Each structure stands twice: as C-alpha cells, then as structure tokens.
Amino acid sequence: MEPRQIPPHLQPTWQELMQRLQEIDHLRRAVNVLIWDQNTYMPPGGAAARSSHQATLNRLAHAKFTDPALGRLLDALEPLREALPPDSDEAAILFWVRRDYDRSRRVPEAFVARAAAHFSQLFQAWTEARPQDDWQAVRPLLEESLRLSQEFAAFFPEHQEPLDVFIDHSDPGMTAARMDELFRELREVLRPMVQAIKAHPPVDDRCLHQHYPVEGQRAFGEMVAACYGYDFQQGRQDLAPHPFMIKIAQGDVRITTRYREDDLAIGLFSTLHETGHALYEQNIHPRLADTPLDHGASAGVHESQSRLWENLVGRSRPFWEHFYPRLQETFPDQLAQVSLETFYRAINKVQPSLIRTEADEVTYNLHIMLRFDLERALLNQELRVADLPEAWRARMAEDLGVVPSNHRDGVLQDIHWFSGFIGGSFQGYTLGNIMGAQFFQAAMAEQGPAIQEEMAQGRFDALRTWLTERIYQHGGKFLPDTLIERVTGRPLSVQPYLEYLQRKYSELYDLSTVQAGTPGD
Amino acid sequence: MEPRQIPPHLQPTWQELMQRLQEIDHLRRAVNVLIWDQNTYMPPGGAAARSSHQATLNRLAHAKFTDPALGRLLDALEPLREALPPDSDEAAILFWVRRDYDRSRRVPEAFVARAAAHFSQLFQAWTEARPQDDWQAVRPLLEESLRLSQEFAAFFPEHQEPLDVFIDHSDPGMTAARMDELFRELREVLRPMVQAIKAHPPVDDRCLHQHYPVEGQRAFGEMVAACYGYDFQQGRQDLAPHPFMIKIAQGDVRITTRYREDDLAIGLFSTLHETGHALYEQNIHPRLADTPLDHGASAGVHESQSRLWENLVGRSRPFWEHFYPRLQETFPDQLAQVSLETFYRAINKVQPSLIRTEADEVTYNLHIMLRFDLERALLNQELRVADLPEAWRARMAEDLGVVPSNHRDGVLQDIHWFSGFIGGSFQGYTLGNIMGAQFFQAAMAEQGPAIQEEMAQGRFDALRTWLTERIYQHGGKFLPDTLIERVTGRPLSVQPYLEYLQRKYSELYDLSTVQAGTPGD
C-alpha cells in the first residue's frame, strides 16, 4: 500500500515492516493453496506429505512473525501509531500487528510445537474414532487438550476467564459473559418457539428429496452465486466433503460445495452460504490486498455475511418469487407440480435434529449454546471430560427434545474440539446470525425499496453495494463492535434477529402467541 | 532416511543437514502445488498474486540453500563423504548437495535477483509478442538475456565454453562438444532419411482427424496409463494448455494433457509421454522420499522414459495389436472401418513441419540440433541476436526443407529462450531419444520374450519392473553416464536409436537404400 501517512524518516522502517509481513502473508496464502488442493483434488497418496509440507510452511511463517526484529520495527513505529489518524489504514495495521505479535510472543515456541503435535495426533484419532463411535479412544486425548487449553489461556491472565482468551482471538472484543447474556436472550425466545412449532404437524418437504442430478444443481447454484455478484473470473467453485471458502489472493477467492442427489437443499444452500463469505473477501478494497487487513473483521462478522446471503436473502419469499420459476425450468420433472408455497415451506422447515450443520434457522442456535456452555464449563473446571457425553445428552433433551443414541451424533460430532484448543470456535456462528439480521435490517431501512425492486428481478447490486461500502471494503480494519456501530448506528443487539425469526416463523407456523421474554432490551 | 552409514559422532550433524534440506524441499514442493494449480484450475484473477507468491517461496528456498551454515555442515561431513561406500545413498546425497551448494554460492544474490526480474519481464513480453509476431518487441530483451547468460557462465570458468555450464546443470557430465558429436552422428543419418521419405507419397492420416469427443479420449488414455502402471491413487490427470508432469510428493505425482477433438494423436500421445515421466517418479524407492535424490537423474534420462513409453512402446505395432481393437470399441463410428495398418501408419507419419512439439520421431531431432547450434553460436559470440531469425530460417530450409513465414512459428516458437538463461534446455530432448532406445534395447535383450508376451495382453509389468530395478528406484543417485553403463553395460551411444529408426521407418517407407554414414562407432 501507498504509505501516504508515514513521515519520510520513518518510511524505511515502515517499508521493512511491510516487506516482512508480506513474506509471511505469501507463506500463508501458499498454505491456503495446499489446503484447497487437499480438500478438492489431491490424490489419496499425497495426504501424508501434504501434512508435513503445511506444517513446515506454517512453522516458517510463525517463526518469521515472532522474530524479535519484527518487534523492534513495531517499537520504532509506536510513536507513529499514536500520531496517525485513528481511522487510517496505517494505524489499523499497526494496531492489529502489534496485537497479534504480542499475543504470539507470549506463547513459548516449545508449547506451540507440543500443542501442534498433540492436536495432529488427536485429529487423526478422531477421524478413526468417530465412524467407530469410540469415545473412549479419544477421551484421554481430549483431556490433554483441555489441559493444553488451560495452559494456553494462562499465558493471558488479563482475561476474566479462560474462554475469553479464545473468544477474543476469533471475535475480538467479545467475552464469555457478553455471549452468555446474548444466548440467554435468544434462548428465552427460541425454546418456547421450538416447543410451539413441535406442536404443529410436520411440514411436508418431500419435494426436496426427489432425484436431483448434480449437473442441474451445480448450474442453478452457480447462476445464483453469479447473480449475487460472485466473480467467477476471480474465484471458482469445486466439490469438497465439507464446504468452505478460502482466499488465495484478492483476485482468487474460492468456494466449495457438496451435492446429494436425494436432497436439493444441501448443495444449494452450501453454495449460497460460501458465496456470502466469498462476497466479503472479493470486495475488500484492493489497496488492502497483501496487507494484514486483507480479511474479514472477525469470525462473527464473516458468518453474518454467509448467513445473510444464505438465509435472510436465499430462504426468503421475495428471492424465490423470482428464482423458483428458474428452478422449475431446471428440474421440470421434479418441480413442475410443486407450488412455490410448498417449496418455500420445505426449505424453511423447522425440526429439532441431532446434527448442528443440518439444523434449521430456529434450532441452530440451540446447538451452539449447548457447545458454548459445555466448553465454558470444561475450561472453568465445572465439568469433567469424562462427563461430557452425558452432559451433551441432557442438554439436547432439555433444549431440543432429541437425544443422540451414539457418540458419533453427539459429542464426537464436530471437528472443532478434536483439532485444536477447546474454546472459542462456536460462538461466531450465533454472532453471525445476530449480526447478519442487524446489518440486513439497517440495509433495508436505508435501501429497502431498491433492494426489493432488484430482488424481484433476481438482482442484488443495491444490497451488495451497500454491504461493500459499509462492511466489505474495510476488511479487518475495525473492531467488530466499532464496525456494528458504524454500520447500524447502534451496538450489537439480538432484537433484529429475534424480530426476523418471529415474523418469519409466526407466519409459517401460525405462532402469534409465542412472545416469551422481552428480547433485545 | 535411516542414516545407517553414519558414525554416531556425526549423526547430529547429518540430522541437521537433513532437516535443513527437508525444509527447502517442502518449500519447493509447495511451489509445485502452486505451479500445478496455476496451470490447471487457477482463475484468471489469481495470476498476478500467484507469481509473487511463487517468487517469495523460491527466494526463501534459495536463501536457505545458500546459507553458509549449510556449507559448514557439508564441510564437517566432508571426511565422512570420502569414507562412505561410493554406492551408498548417503555418499550420493553429500556429492549432489555439495555440488549444488558450491554452484549456488558462486552466483551473487544480486545477480540472481537481477536475472529473475529480467526473465519475468521477458516472459511477459514474449507472451504478448508471440501472438502478434512481434520479434522487435523482444529482441532487445533477448540481447540482455544473452549478456546475463554469458555473465552467469563466467561464474564457472572451469568449463570449456559457456554452453557447457548450462548443459551440465540439466544433464550432469554432458558437454557441448560431446553433444555436437552425437548430433553429427544423428544428422548424417536423419537428413538423408528425411529426404528419402519426402520422395514418397504422403501417408494418409485422415483417420486421426475425425471428430473425437474428449470424454472417450480421456477414458482410453487413462486406461492405457493405468495399464502402463501409473497409479491414479498416487496421482491424477488434468487438463492444461501445455502438458507436463509434476511431483508434489512421492505419493502425489500428477500429469496433465490437452485434447483436440479433431486430432486424436495430440491428447493420447501427450498422456503416454507424461505417464512415462510419472512412472519414473512414482517408482523412486520410498527410502529416498524427502531426500535430495527424490527425482530423476537428469533431463535426458527423464526424457528417455517419456519417449520410451510414448514412442518405443506407444507407437509400436505390438502395442496397437492389443490396444487398437479397444480404441475401435471406444470410437466405433470413427474407426470401425479403419484397418490397424492404416492407423499404425497414420500415427507414425513422417512430415517435415515448422513446430518442434508436433514433429514426428524422424524430424524431431533436427529441430533440436537447430536450437542447440544456434544457442551455442549465440553464447560463443559467433551469432548476433539480431541475426537469429534469418539463421533459423536458413537452417530450417537446409535440414527440413520448410521455412516459417513468420516469427511465431520460427524464433518465437519455444518458451525456453524467453523464460530463462539461453542454453542447455534443448539437448535433453535428443538425449532422451538416444538413451530411451539404448535402455529399451537392453531391456529387450534381457527380458524380450516376457515383455512381448505381456504387451500382447496389454500388460507391461516385466518392462516396468525392469526399468524400476535398473533406473527408477535409484532416483537422482547416479550420474547419467554411470547409470547408462550400469544399466546397459556400455557407454552412451546413438546406435540403438538409429537402428530403431532405420528398422521402423525403412519398413514403413521402404527405405532399404538409406544407410548414410556409419553411426555409433
């Protein structure tokens, strides 16, 4: 970037810092290519070497980032940081690099290596244990993970509780106590809403479970992604077992999806979800490319965009009023006789289930709360790892009324606890739901007529432009709380999200009486 | 690898050397993933960043390889090198690493950076100039390349002439003078052979130029590759504009091809050619994985395997006696009425042409000699860059009787001179032809009946096993001359290759009288 804000005598120092950071960035981007390939095209025989190639590049990047020479450059630029306009890119870069550098330096190299080796072993054990439903095979390893997580958290004693350390990493500025409050407000509404919906006869979603050849699914999904504004000249979609978005460069932001020929919703909404993540990354301002700000603001803010494009737009009635006739053209045998209303109700069916990633909008957050509360209890030594499966079952029964009959669909379900530190990797999903609704409400308040008019024609320029101006272009510049205030004029609040759910699902399930609690005060 | 040959007191030194080399190897393998992706799936928007990511990783690898600390480890192990059995892996590793380290250290960092920047600029200019046939746009840049090449060669004054420096890099032990002698022997036979063939009516190869849908071409080519022994669990084939083989790991050796629906030969023989390269890499002994010996012995030896499987096997009559009926099943509309003999003659049609990569077995080496002689003359200041196009035309007229009417099909044809130093990147192709025939003759002498019996059933285990035992498993352990002596019991000789060409093309073109010169003495 053009360092216009830097006085001449500090320019060489600034340039050297940028050069070092760029080298680290290039190593990390190369790792992203390795990860993308590993999940899409790598032949089975390449797996073992791939892990060690990634480990080497990650180790080199880490060593370069924790090099004391980088710390000295930051020290030399410290006066500048205070002199710069707080809203400038340069100030933001110095703020974030200083924060990450200090964080990294607090953790001894030996600990990093020990933890990496352990997580690698645990992940391998989990991939074998899960299909065999073998909880006991991973339990001792998970106990070691908990010890490592507590040890890691102890390097940052300024936080209130261990979970805060991990939350602050992926959602800067957030704390376990604040999350707890948000979850409480949500839960007061969602639990009775789920109860009320369960009292209704189940929605008929058989229309989604006919035979849908992959080629038509792909064509339709990519057509919608292009309508959203995803640029296929600067990205591509491929198949992967677990859909993800990955950024290789400003001009190379890729998404993946998976299809099931007996379930139309899986592939389509995966595509729309990952497209939301990708729109964020593709629309970061080019001047931030190759800088430490060239990424979304936090796990929660990122998820807000995937949820916004997947659910608030992609599961809405106006969206399907335009696109359903196109989908019927793509699959005439399957859908010609299915009404828009039937289809709309099918894709918004609420049904408590065991698997988080397959949960609907209403029950989804109850899955997250469960994980959040359990990992918090583990870290605070209020729950033993050995008691985790039973605690999982009890909470599922309480919140969702369904209980897994095995570990595979229970405590062994998610990769998160079995591939890294315990803590901090779930709250972002619910934060995304909350923020997505708050952003969307603000967009509609300012641009509602234009957005709706376009959506009726299958266009999304007004919405995407608004999001780009307010959110995307800034990349990782602002703290999430700052960004939310700037964009919506008010602090983070569950109210828009609860209003959205209540409006949508009251209509779908005739729930006029469900209004427990006073959300959003 | 297990350092069984290393005495205990030197083990820590050895281990540190191995660890450093492995880190460099991992960086280079990661670059290979980036290159593979760049040529197969990368969206256009990723191009600019990809170049700089590659440059960064290459620079890091180079810096690590030229680190004086690595030199000190080599110095400390120097006594060991002399004490080790000369045939041991460890001795070979120390020999090659010492050789490459000394080479790299002779070239100043500043020169490396200057040359890399220039070649990057030249390559960009060439990609634009070639379609526009604009020789003048690249001429001054090529002049600078020549100066850089001469400057580079001057860092190695122990070589007889500048070209030797570059030849020795890709084909260790070879010199321009030896190549010149080999080319002379070939040329004495090939030029009259081409003349004699031109006197015959042209072969009818219209059967290859019907409409061949890609899917059938792909299925047939991959079926043959699998019959050859290419392991698709440890590799894969994708589309690329210019076919290549690339090794990402011992268990991940990939090939690419391209198809033209109006030319069956292009895709099929590309696949067989790259499969030959891949068989070499897939069958290097696993104990050499991740060591500096985990690659083919030289450009020439590598090419010997692509040529052997593409031409000596894949364009032979016994091969097609088995596979032609399968090809007819794949393309009944196109080939049911075409006889094996007609097809066999079509795929072995000799016709002087302008483009090296499309040349047949007989004329191919004349294209190489031309380039070799011209780059030698440039480096020896006997030819000016400005006079290159005219020299090209004159030699084409003399050797092949065809002359390009533009620069695109003449001096601008190949990427080699426009992406790196001038010199050393062509002789390997002809060495491959010569060595391939010599290896194949030795294999037939020892295993002929088994090889032929299998080939009649579409199997190649005896041949591949023989090549693996004699050549593949050793990777880059032996000097090419040593390897050839070990495998064939005699030094490199053009005789087997000339005998092969004469036998095959005398029969095809009834050339009983063409026996100029006394090749192979």
ipTM of the complex: 0.94
Please check the confidence at residue B390 and state whether its pLDDT lies above 60.
yes
Q: Is residue B30 domain-resident?
A: yes
pLDDT digits (tens, 9 = 90+) for B138-168: 999 999 999 999 999 999 999 999 999 999 9
The mean pLDDT of chain A is: 95
Could you tell me which residue, B513 or A370, shows the higher pLDDT?
Answer: A370
- Note whether B31 and A33 are within 8 A (CB): no
Helix (H) or strand (E) holding B248: strand B245-249
Q: What is the 3-state secondary structure (H, E, C) of B278-290?
A: HHHHHCCCHHHCC
Please check the confidence at residue B85 and state whether its pLDDT lies above 60.
yes
Q: Which are the catalytic amino acids of A?
A: 274
Mean pLDDT, residues B208-234 taken together: 98
Q: How far apart are CA B167 and CA B424, in angstroms?
A: 4
Q: Is residue A97 domain-resident?
A: no
Please give the residue of chain B at the shortest CA–CA distance from A59.
B23
Please check the confidence at residue A513 and state whether its pLDDT lies above 70.
no
Residue owning tokens 């890609």: B214
In chain A, what residues touch B30 (CB-CB under 8 Å)?
Answer: 30-31, 33-34, 53, 57
Q: Which of B274, B303, B310, B361 is flagged as catalytic?
A: B274
Q: Is residue B42 domain-resident?
A: yes
Q: What is the DSSP letter of B338?
A: S
User: How far does CA B112 lie from the centroid of its chain?
Assistant: 24
Q: How far is CA A161 from CA A108, A112, A265, in A?
A: 21, 21, 40
Distance from CA of A33 to the nearest CA of B (A): 7
CB contact under 8 A, B49 and A250: yes
CB contact under 8 A, A249 and B57: no
CB contact under 8 A, B47 and A22: no
In chain B, what residues touch A23 (CB-CB under 8 Å)?
Answer: 56, 60
Distance from CA of B121 to the nearest CA of A (A): 21
Percent of chain A with pLDDT over 70: 97
- Chain B positions contacting chain A at CB under 8 Å are 22-23, 26-27, 29-31, 33-34, 36-37, 41-50, 52-53, 56-57, 60, 231-236, 238, 248-252, 254, 289-290
CB contact under 8 A, B251 and A47: yes
CB contact under 8 A, A251 and B30: no
Domain count, chain B: 1
The pLDDT of residue A519 is: 41
- B465-480 in b/e burial notation, b at 16+ Cβ within 10 A? bbbbebbbbbbbbbbb
In chain B, what residues touch A249 (CB-CB under 8 Å)?
Answer: 45-46, 48-50, 53
The pLDDT of residue A439 is: 98
Q: How far apart are CA B267 and CA B255, in angstroms?
A: 12
Please give the residue of chain A at the shortest CA–CA distance from B47.
A251
Please check the confidence at residue B513 and state whether its pLDDT lies above 90.
no
CATH code of the domain covering residue A288: 1.10.1370.30
CB contact under 8 A, A233 and B56: no
Distance from CA of A244 to the nearest CA of B (A): 17
Token reading at B286? 């696993």
Mean pLDDT, residues A27-55 taken together: 95
Please give the residue of chain A at the shortest CA–CA distance from B21.
A56
Q: How far apart are CA A166 and CA A425, in angstroms?
A: 8
Q: Phi and psi for B136 in degrees, rounded to 5?
A: -65, -25
The pLDDT of residue A20 is: 97
pLDDT band at B520 (very low <50, low <70, confident <90, very high): very low
CB contact under 8 A, A60 and B56: no
Distance from CA of A281 to the nearest CA of B (A): 13
Q: Phi and psi for A107 in degrees, rounded to 5?
A: -105, 115
- A218-240 in b/e burial notation, b at 16+ Cβ within 10 A? bebbbebbebbbbbeebbbbeeb
CA atoms within 13 A on the CB side of B133: 7
Q: Residue A349 sits in which domain range?
A: 107-521
Please check the confidence at residue B409 and state whether its pLDDT lies above 90.
yes
The mean pLDDT of chain B is: 95
In chain B, what residues touch A47 (CB-CB under 8 Å)?
Answer: 251
Q: What's the helix, strand, coil split of chain B in %, to 5?
A: 70, 5, 30
In chain B, what residues touch A231 (CB-CB under 8 Å)?
Answer: 45
Question: Measured between CB atoms, which of A26, A37, A250 is closest to B33?
Answer: A37
Q: Is residue B274 domain-resident?
A: no
Q: Which of A469-478, B231-240, B412-421, B511-520 has the lowest mean pLDDT?
A: B511-520
Q: Is residue A71 domain-resident?
A: no
Q: Is residue A91 domain-resident?
A: no
Question: Measured between CB atoms, which of B42, B56, B60 is closest to A252?
Answer: B42
Q: Which of A361, A352, A357, A354 is nearest to A415 (CA)?
A: A357
Please check the confidence at residue A4 and state whether its pLDDT lies above 70.
no
Mean pLDDT, residues B209-234 taken together: 98
Mean pLDDT, residues B451-459 taken together: 96
Q: Is residue B488 domain-resident?
A: no
- Note whether A388 and A410 are within 8 A (CB): no
pLDDT band at A521 (very low <50, low <70, confident <90, very high): very low
The pLDDT of residue B511 is: 83
Question: Measured between CB atoms, which of B26, B49, B231 is closest to A251?
Answer: B49
pLDDT digits (tens, 9 = 90+) for A203-218: 999 999 999 999 999 9
Q: Is residue B240 domain-resident?
A: no
Distance from CA of A455 to the nearest CA of B (A): 28
Could you tell me which residue, B120 or A341, shows the higher pLDDT?
Answer: A341
In chain B, what residues touch A43 (CB-CB under 8 Å)?
Answer: 232-236, 251-252, 254
Please check the confidence at residue B506 and state whether its pLDDT lies above 60.
yes
